[in-house]
């Protein structure tokens, strides 16, 4: 199977989506943006052995490489539209590619994004890069930069599950429901759009709550304070780990892909999604944590590449 046969077989799903003038198969894709809307561009790479373990389920990888990007689109309050994929493979294995394509196209269908092109190469480990273009009303993109002292800090869903799931894999005692939160994150695309025009600042949680909230606070020229009792923790996390471990995963574990946002008033109706108030924006730089009202020190600011 050569490169062209591979693309045709696994990736060319004749994008009939809106705005696709020329899709996969030519030297470049041509899209027709919605008149009057601004574009949001996001890109994220997943490297085998760095962002996902070796022998990771290919269907989950295909799904995950799309949704980690959709989480950035969500954090910008945008609507996802078009996507390209750069894929490096160690071998052209039919079973692996069938699984990967199933997860990838599944995520595209679920969130209404069209695969319009890409590049396929061979290399020494599996690397997947997805780029997504989203659209947003002019001036309505959400940013990290608008939080004001006194704003309330909220987080969607529960935090710490994905990191605990990965930890279970390392220790040889995997908890399936927790590992599922790592392999199949739920990007909060609809809620991100609902926050548009309401939230003062938004960030998605990819590197851990403390580090990511710290980035939001810094971009806003402010600080934050959170109350550790308020952290939204799943029953699974509580059931399998000590209070200390729960807190460590929730604060410094990455890969949750929930949204952390700030606003002065009430958040929009989240429907069945859980939204929890965890603290306040302050004028003191950094993120302070309180447990039973007392300030506590937390080490480990989350995952940093190239330190
Ligand atoms: P070129 O050599 O001109 O860059 P390629 O042979 O790499 O073109 O790709 C042929 C077509 O297949 C292009 O439309 C490209 O966007 C698409 N393509 C290549 N790899 C992928 C992939 N992994 N997923 C989706 N489309 C792909
Ligand atoms: Mg090429």
Per-residue pLDDT reduced to its tens digit, 192-203: 999 999 999 999
- Please determine, for residue 224, whether its predicted confidence score (pLDDT) is greater than 80: yes
Per-domain boundaries in the chain: 3-136, 152-296
Averaged pLDDT for residues 278-297: 95
Distances, alpha carbon 18 to alpha carbons 83, 111, 112, 141, in Å: 13, 14, 10, 21
Q: What is the CATH number of domain 152-296?
A: 3.90.650.10
Ligand 1, CB within 6 Å, residue ranges: 7, 11, 24-27, 85, 87, 115, 117-120
| Mutation test residue for ligand 1: of 4, 5, 6, 7, the one with most atoms within 8 Å of CB | 7
Going from the Cα of 82 to the center of ligand 2, the distance in angstroms, rounded, reads 18
CATH class of 3-136: alpha beta
Encode burial over 188-218: b for 16+ CB neighbours within 10 A, e otherwise.
bbebbbbbbebbbbbbbbbbbbbbbbbbbbb
216 alpha carbon to ligand 2 midpoint, in Å? 37
Residue nearest to atom 18 of ligand 1 (CA): 118
Higher pLDDT, 305 or 199: 199
3-136 matches 152-296 in fold: no
Rg, Å, the chain Cα set: 20
Least confident of 38-42, 116-120, 301-305: 301-305
| Digit-coded pLDDT (tens) for 156-188 | 999 999 999 999 988 999 899 999 999 999 999
Identify which of 121, 24, 118 has the alpha carbon closest to the alpha carbon of residue 66.
118
Q: Is the pLDDT of residue 304 over 70?
A: no
CA within 13 Å, CB half, 58: 17
Which pair of structure tokens corresponds to residue 263?
């606003």
Q: What confidence tens digit (pLDDT) does each residue in 46-82 have?
A: 999 999 999 999 999 999 999 999 999 999 999 999 9
């Amino acid at each position: 199977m050569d490169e062209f046969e591979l693309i045709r077989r696994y990736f060319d799903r004749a994008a009939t989506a809106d705005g696709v003038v020329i899709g996969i198969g030519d030297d470049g894709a041509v899209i027709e943006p919605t008149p009057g809307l601004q574009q949001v561009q996001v890109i994220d790479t997943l490297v085998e052995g760095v962002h996902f373990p070796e022998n990771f389920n290919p269907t989950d990888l295909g799904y995950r490489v799309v949704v980690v990007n959709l989480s950035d689109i969500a954090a910008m309050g945008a609507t996802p539209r078009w996507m390209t994929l750069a894929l490096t493979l160690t071998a052209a294995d039919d079973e692996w590619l069938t699984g990967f394509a199933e997860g990838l196209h599944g995520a595209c269908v679920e969130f209404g994004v069209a695969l319009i092109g890409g590049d396929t190469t061979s290399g020494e480990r599996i690397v997947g890069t997805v780029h997504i273009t989203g659209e947003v009303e002019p001036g309505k993109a959400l940013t990290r930069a608008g939080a004001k002292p006194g704003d309330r800090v909220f987080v969607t869903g529960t935090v710490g599950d994905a990191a605990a799931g990965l930890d279970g894999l390392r220790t040889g005692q995997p908890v399936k429901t927790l590992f599922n939160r790592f392999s199949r994150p739920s990007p909060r695309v609809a809620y991100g759009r609902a926050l548009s025009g309401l939230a003062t600042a938004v960030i998605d949680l990819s590197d851990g709550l403390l580090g990511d909230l710290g980035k939001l606070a810094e971009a806003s020229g402010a600080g934050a304070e959170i109350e550790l009792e308020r952290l939204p923790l799943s029953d699974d996390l509580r059931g399998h780990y000590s209070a200390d471990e729960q807190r460590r995963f929730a604060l410094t574990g990455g890969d949750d892909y929930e949204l952390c946002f700030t606003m002065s008033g009430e958040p929009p109706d989240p429907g069945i999604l859980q939204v929890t108030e965890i603290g306040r924006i302050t004028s003191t730089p950094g993120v302070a944590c309180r447990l039973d009202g007392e300030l506590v020190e937390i080490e480990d600011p989350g995952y940093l590449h190239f330190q």
